[in-house]
Amino acid sequence: MNSEGDFNVSFGYQCNGHESGSCEVPNKCEIVPGLQLHKTSSFSCLSGAALSANATLANTNICNGLIAAEILPSLDSPTSFRRVPSSPSCSRLDILSSSLQSSVSNLSCSPSSPSDPPEYDSYMLKSMSQSAPSRSEGFLNAMEVQMAGGAAGEDRVQAVCSEEHGWLFCGIYDGFNGRDAADFLAGTLYETVSYYSNLVEWESKSDAIRAPDGLDLDGSLQYILEDSSTSPEGNFPSSKSSNKDLSVKSFGNESLCPKMEISCSHRQAVLDSLQRALIQAENDFLHMVEQEMEERPDLVSVGSCVLVVLIHGNDLYTLNLGDSRAVLASYDERNDLSGNKWLKAIQLTDSHTVDNETERTRVISEHPDDPATVVAGKVKGKLKVTRAFGVGYLKKEKLNDALMGILRVRNLISPPYISTQPSLNVHKITKNDHFVIVASDGLFDFLGNVEAVELVHSYVLSNPSGDPAKFLLEHLVERAAACAGFSMEELMSIPAGMRRKYHDDVTVIVIMLGTNQRTSRASTCLQV
């Protein structure tokens, strides 16, 4: 591919550990230098890229057009990271809440098991903002942040950074059946997490709702907070050994933090904020779908996978629904015969698809009276993923009834069939951890975890000022073209929509860990 015009939306970020730190600026791409590196920061730069294959509408019109007209324009920054003031209390979410007028969301999906996450009312954010703490009290505290984001087909990518406070928020929202769900997440999830970070810290300090046994009185979940047990490529831990599938049934009676150490309490607050924010976003989205489905019945089938990576201090948190992945590249303590360390590929996220035997067994066991729970390798013959945001027709009978003909799911015996219970993980970053690849599943259609790590590692060694995320996508295009019998130029000349036959929308972020100084750039939405 040529270097001009392929990537028309680009952004990049480089932390500055020294006053003399500099950044190279690629064509049509501005890279914003960071501030003096905070002593608790564990990242040095990030590089991102997104490749479009699906044809989709330029903007979503859900929420009466508010997402497209008022929210996303204030968040998207297609050419660079830009400084954005951190709103004090859910200003953008209040816009959505006011659009609901006097309606109150009661659309929350019925839990499929006692361990499902608690539900939160759609108006709780607005009603509690009067008494909630200021943003300076939450772990995402900052008066202003660096923000970038963009769209590629049905994918959305978002990155928010406060280097001076030592945190980085990255979201990849892999939409399907349309981009409305991914756009909704890009427009609301970060702010919702910020709100709950304030609320949870405030609750913790006031000590008003903490019960003696370690469970929140409002039913919020507790988490195992020891160093994460991660799984290598292709090996997913069982529910008995995993600390990522969180439920009261599995872990509610365990002593998580007997002494309630500060570090443990903080990790718990972060995980609880991520969990609660996702449920809030889901309830709000489905409520708006219900309001608008008469005019747009297709909205009931729109959904998105969700992958959030949050680096705060020396902790790396992940939240995921679906089949996107976060893969950590970490040096093994053991050396080879030459004294060199091995670089391992460690998958930090579970894969929520019917191909994962643990997930397939779970879904089938939750619907014992439905012999057609999994049909032709898909949940109800419709979706390969077992957990996702949105996709209301597989969660609520009322939403399924909005569809006509073959689109409607017959014999929806015991919804919900698609879970919104996320997998969460926290990993303590060590000196051996090198970088993290965060990507939608389109990348892994062509590359395995180990190969992706090896490609990034070799590229960074030979191109210390290069863009490893863009390199990964160029490698993917080359492989996809070879599989189809095309040259790269021939493949990229195929219009979006038709090109979906050869590869999916792909979004990649590479986050370099540690404080080593290297210039990187980020790009999103490869187009022709």
The 10s digit of each residue's pLDDT in 216-255 is 333 333 343 333 333 444 332 333 333 334 432 222 233 3
| Per-residue pLDDT, 139 | 73
Note the helical H segments in 150-302: 180-206, 248-251, 262-292
Instruction: Report whether pLDDT(82) > 90.
Output: no
Cβ atoms 177, 302 nearer than 8 A: yes
CA distance 297 to 393: 10
Burial class (CB in 10 A: 0-12, 13-18, 19+), 472: buried
Locate tokens 């909005």: which residue?
402
CA distance 375 to 443: 26
Highest mean pLDDT among 301-305, 403-407, 518-522: 301-305
Closest by CA position to 56, among listed 283, 295, 304: 304
Reported confidence tier of residue 117, pLDDT bands at 50, 70, 90: very low
Which residues contact residue 235 at a Cβ distance below 8 angstroms, ignoring those fewer than 6 apart? none
CA distance 280 to 22: 41
CA distance 17 to 80: 20
Highest mean pLDDT among 109-113, 151-155, 283-287: 283-287
Closest by CA position to 511, among listed 322, 348, 350, 321: 348
Percent pLDDT > 90 in the chain is 46
Query: What end-to-end distance do the CA atoms of the chain give, in Å?
Result: 10
Q: Which residue has the higher pLDDT, 22 or 141?
A: 141
And the tokens for 199?
Answer: 């609320």
The 10s digit of each residue's pLDDT in 490-526 is 999 999 899 999 999 999 999 999 854 443 344 444 3
